[in-house]
Amino acid sequence: MPRTLDSQITLEKTPSYFVTREAPRRIASMSSNTRLIVVVRNPVTRAISDYTQTLSKKPDIPTFEELAFQNRSQGLVDTSWNAIRIGMYILHLENWLQYFRLSQIHFVSGERLITDPAGELGRVQDFLGLKRIITDKHFYFNRTKGFPCLKKPESSSQPRCLGKSKGRTHVQIDREVIEQLRDFYRPFNIKFYEMVGQDFRWD
């Protein structure tokens, strides 16, 4: 991490920190005062998105259903598959809470980040102790991608939108499979809501 003055905030991001077992200890040993921002979304949607992205790179992988279940008829979910395991947020959070206080972690709703980006980023700015500078006027919704894009109101430069790999159409998954996964995640989601004091309404 670069040297940072007291008047500055340095940000760094990666999608894998939250689910990497060693990450909390390493980050805490670097700076136990670090504040953490975690974007979470409906774990079923997240797993399908994860699979869709992998499928675009490896078209010969097994079906989503084959990977998601050890035994589909018994509803036995395969928690060793990364796409499933990542969405068990409470398990990862418990690991982080061995090194950081809950007040040091801010959870962003991935769904609200799309429907109300200014509101979600307003809460991020509050969490970081920043003045709310980013507002509604900094966004416009890109219908082609299905995501909001960031723009500078005072600038004529092109808006910044998500990359080509984002916003692709998800693989169609059988409704019954989705329901089975919802049932599987429900107890994990409830514990997660209770722990963070926020209902993400994923059911």
Here the tokens at position 85 are 């395991």
Here the tokens at position 38 are 């975690």
- Residue ranges at the known binding site for 3'-phosphoadenylyl sulfate: 41, 49, 166-170
The span from the CA of 68 to the CA of 82, in Å, is: 10
- Encoded amino acid at 86, one letter: I
- Encoded amino acid at 121, one letter: L
The span from the CA of 172 to the CA of 108, in Å, is: 26
- Residue ranges at the known binding site: 41, 49, 166-170
Q: Are 77 and 68 in contact (CB under 8 A)?
A: yes
Here the tokens at position 126 are 């509050």
Q: Which helix (H) or strand (E) holds 38?
A: strand 36-40
Cβ-count burial 67-97 (b if 16+ within 10 Å, e if not): bbbeebeeeebeeebebbbbbbbbebbebbe
